Chain A
Amino acid sequence: MEITSSQAAFAVLAAIIVICSVLSVTTKRILRSATYLMFVLFASAGIYLLLNYHFLAAVQAAIYAGGILILLIFSIFLTSRPGEKLIHIAASQRVMSALAALFGFAICTFVIVRSGLKIAASASGKIDMHVIGHALMGSEKFQYLLPFEAISILLLASIIGGILIARKR
């Protein structure tokens, strides 16, 4: 079987995602697992690039790697002694988390198999920035993201209000 360059790139990215995901849950130091998570996020941004979804790749890098991961690292810094090895986890917790992981795996497999394992050809051509912009701001069918964003601003305002009320001076 002939291996195309995009298949090779996909294999490399998939290997990075799998290895770093496993490492990020098995490592004993919490900051290291955040770093492995960073590699996972970048590799998934790479997969979006491979699919020609440039916008989604940049969103992945900006929101997840540039925003959420930095928030995560800051919150790790605020916890006590981020560098120490994590304490041993009880057996019951291990069983529970293994079950949760298996359940998630089962759902994913079910969905993939049910959809008939269709190998869709990657969407040809890039999505133009204008199309995304119209989808975000438009008010027709499949174009209604602006209210969603407005609700998220309301959520932010209520979080800030909650902090202000709960904070004691």
Chain B
Amino acid sequence: MNLELRTLMQLIDEGLRANLPKFWAVAIECLSVGLALLAGYAVLAMLLIYVERKVCAWFQVRIGPNRVGPFGIFQTVADTLKMLLKEVIPINHVDRFLFYTAPFVVIAASMLTFAALPFAKGIQAIDFNIGVFYIMAISSISILGILLAGWSSNNKFSMIGAMRSGAQMISYELSVGLSLLAIVMLSGTMQLSTLVEQQADLWFIFQGHVPAFIAFVIYLIAGHAETNRGPFDLPEAESELTAGFHTEYSGIHFGFFYLAEYLNMFIIAGIAATVFLGGWQPLHIPGLDGFNYVMDFIPSFIWFLAKVFFLIFLSLWVRWTFPRLRIDQLLHLEWKYLMPLSLLNILIMAVLVVMGWHF
């Protein structure tokens, strides 16, 4: 019994190719991959919003959503319907074109990064040989959307939020890139599928032991800051700036920002899982063949999602544990501690790789 998603995909592929000309088979496959990604994006967002509300309720010793459906599982479905039906309120004296373009820029950047994640064995829509670099490049675009949104809202709070967000995301992108670079040095490849394959025997966080672990921690901190979530949520600090760059947005446009925020959390966790924790590879310990054999029975997409949700749980935990930073503390943390540390870490990793001290 093979539970992998790839067998299903192969069945669909063979069925289409047997019954249709090649062009139409490819066209239908491309379309269905796109639709599947969009659907997965929306469903994951709803799931993440539910998880966040439930987990943060537990942290605050509350019950959380519990009215709609058993344990409130249909609460986010109801919220999504409400969001879709809401009116888009026109704002006076704004640059219409920029105001309505900005949410699409943010969501397009998030969607393009999402499509590059290797979800399971053989399930990856975009797989370039520069995978890690592609992710870094595309995810930096969302800053543009946030800046445009903040400025075109014609609102001082939004503008301050957008500027803070721009400064924060540009700064922390450096640490994210440098910590991923440490693992790229260890593996010698940037292609995400190859990165995952190389971790079949041992995950990179164990292969590169000390520097890989430092890189993992730096990545988690910097990635968490990139998602603009607490304790780094000062771009949208609700008690100071009402809601920052998306204050003036309503209806589906607000929904886009909301969706992108939650999915960025998933994407950051997904990249961390792929690069450090072996992606969809099961937990293998060299020498324990029986254990490895049993672990292989768990389908790869379950491994991936389990790792991602574990990392998301960590980020929620951090969110409800630490108070919000000030903007100067935020920039100090990045430029005076994280970035020098990640540069030093790259040096340690280089020594490790050259001397062959890794596993």
On A, residues with C-beta under 8 Å from B are 29, 31-32, 35, 38, 54-55, 58-59, 61-62, 65-67, 69-70, 73-74, 77, 82-83, 126, 128-129
Q: How far is the CA of A67 from the CA of B143 in the complex (A)?
A: 10
Instruction: Please provide the 7 A-B residue pairs with the shortest distance between their CB atoms, ordered closest to farther.
Output: A66-B140, A62-B137, A61-B137, A58-B137, A54-B128, A58-B133, A58-B134
Give the shortest distance, in Å, between B284 (CB) and chain A (any CB). Answer: 27
Say whether B98 faces chain A, with CB atoms less than 8 Å apart: yes
Task: Give the number of residues in B that approach A within 8 Å (Cβ atoms).
Answer: 28
Say whether B115 faces chain A, with CB atoms less than 8 Å apart: no
Interface residues of B in 136-190 (CB under 8 A from A): 136-138, 140-141, 143-144, 147-148, 151-152, 154, 163, 166, 170, 189-190
B95 touches A61 (CB 8 A): no
A31 touches B138 (CB 8 A): no
On B, residues with C-beta under 8 Å from A are 95, 97-98, 101, 105, 128-130, 133-134, 136-138, 140-141, 143-144, 147-148, 151-152, 154, 163, 166, 170, 189-191
Partner of A32, one of B98, B105, B144, B190: B98
B144 touches A65 (CB 8 A): yes
Give the shortest distance, in Å, between A16 (CB) and chain B (any CB). Answer: 14
> Which residues of chain B come closer than 8 Å to A65, judged between CB atoms?
137, 140-141, 144
Give the shortest distance, in Å, between B277 (CB) and chain A (any CB). Answer: 23
> Which residues of chain A come closer than 8 Å to B98, judged between CB atoms?
31-32, 35
> Which residues of chain B come closer than 8 Å to A128, judged between CB atoms?
129
B140 touches A73 (CB 8 A): no
Partner of A69, one of B97, B128, B137, B144: B144
> Which residues of chain A come closer than 8 Å to B148, judged between CB atoms?
31, 35, 73
A61 touches B141 (CB 8 A): yes
Q: How far is the CA of A61 from the CA of B136 in the complex (A)?
A: 9
> Which residues of chain B come closer than 8 Å to A32, judged between CB atoms?
95, 97-98
Which secondary structure dominates chain B's binding surface? helix
Q: How far is the CA of A54 from the CA of B135 in the complex (A)?
A: 12
Give the shortest distance, in Å, between A27 (CB) and chain B (any CB). Answer: 9
Q: How far is the CA of A69 from the CA of B217 in the complex (A)?
A: 30
Give the shortest distance, in Å, between B27 (CB) and chain A (any CB). Answer: 9
Q: How far is the CA of A70 from the CA of B105 in the complex (A)?
A: 13
Q: A65-B144, A69-B144, A70-B144 are in contact. Are A129 and B189 (CB under 8 A)?
A: yes
Give the shortest distance, in Å, between B160 (CB) and chain A (any CB). Answer: 11
Give the shortest distance, in Å, between B15 (CB) and chain A (any CB). Answer: 23
B128 touches A66 (CB 8 A): no
Q: Which of A59, A67, A69, A129 has the most CB of B within 10 A?
A: A129
Q: A70-B170, A77-B151 are in contact. Are A129 and B129 (CB under 8 A)?
A: yes
Q: List 20 A-B contacts (CB under 8 A).
A: A31-B98, A35-B101, A35-B148, A38-B105, A54-B129, A55-B133, A58-B136, A59-B137, A61-B137, A61-B141, A62-B136, A62-B137, A66-B143, A73-B144, A73-B151, A83-B95, A129-B130, A129-B189, A129-B190, A129-B191
Partner of A55, one of B130, B151, B189: B130
B130 touches A58 (CB 8 A): yes
A82 touches B140 (CB 8 A): no
Give the shortest distance, in Å, between B128 (CB) and chain A (any CB). Answer: 5
> Which residues of chain A come closer than 8 Å to B170, judged between CB atoms?
70
> Which residues of chain B come closer than 8 Å to A129, judged between CB atoms?
129-130, 189-191
Besides A62-B136, A65-B144, A73-B148, 7 other CB < 8 A contacts? A31-B151, A54-B130, A58-B137, A61-B137, A70-B166, A73-B151, A129-B190
Closest B residue to A61 by beta carbon equals: B137
